Amino acid sequence: LVHPAPDFMFYQAGDINEHRHLMKYELQRLQKDRPELRIHHYTIGNHQPPFPLDLNSTYALMSRSLLCPVMQGDLPWQHRFYDALVTGCVPLLVRYRKRNNNRMCDVWSYSSSSPPCIEDVYPFTAKVNYTEITVQIDESSFRKGSFAEAIYALDRRELEAKRKRLDELRHLFVYDWTSTSYDASSAMIEDLCRVINATASP
């Protein structure tokens, strides 16, 4: 990755739910009010091909960008989050406080009656502190007339530090088909052994 990031943000998604509709509106407002920011914004029509960019162009623009918003999809986990991690683009998420199994916890970019907590959604939590490589904006700011300002108010130096930390960890989310490096498969096997050993302990 190039540090600092040449571009500010990359966002490509379909306008298929209220969360992504709001994101599209606020991003257009941010582009209009802050034209100095280098923002790549593409909409996928009807959430189906043809897509605005091919895979290589998408990867290249994400790798150049500091932030990649990940808005709510059908499930708490979605490929956009991991696409951002792999390309070194810091995921921008909406933070909710929700109750799950009689405890309050953080939920990122997924609002439902009883969603899973982040520690139950993402892999390698014993190895990765996801707050170090992501940025969250509270749900109270996720509304028309507020979200663009909340994004602009983010500390750029803090975001660059997160991106550098992500650059150190993104190999954990890549599969090395040559099996010559510590990759996602290695981390997954290590995680499984840790769980099995903990379960087997008296």
Q: pLDDT for 13-43, tens place per residue? A: 988 889 999 999 999 999 999 999 999 999 9
Judged against a pLDDT cut of 90, whether residue 111 lies above it is answered with no
Tokens 């663009």, residue? Answer: 148
Mean pLDDT, the chain, as a whole number?
92
Q: How does DSSP classify residue 72?
A: -
**Alpha carbon distances (Å) from 48 to 14, 15, 44, 51:** 8, 11, 7, 7
What three-state secondary structure class fits 151?
helix
| Model confidence pLDDT, tens digit, residues 167-191 | 999 999 999 999 899 999 999 999 8
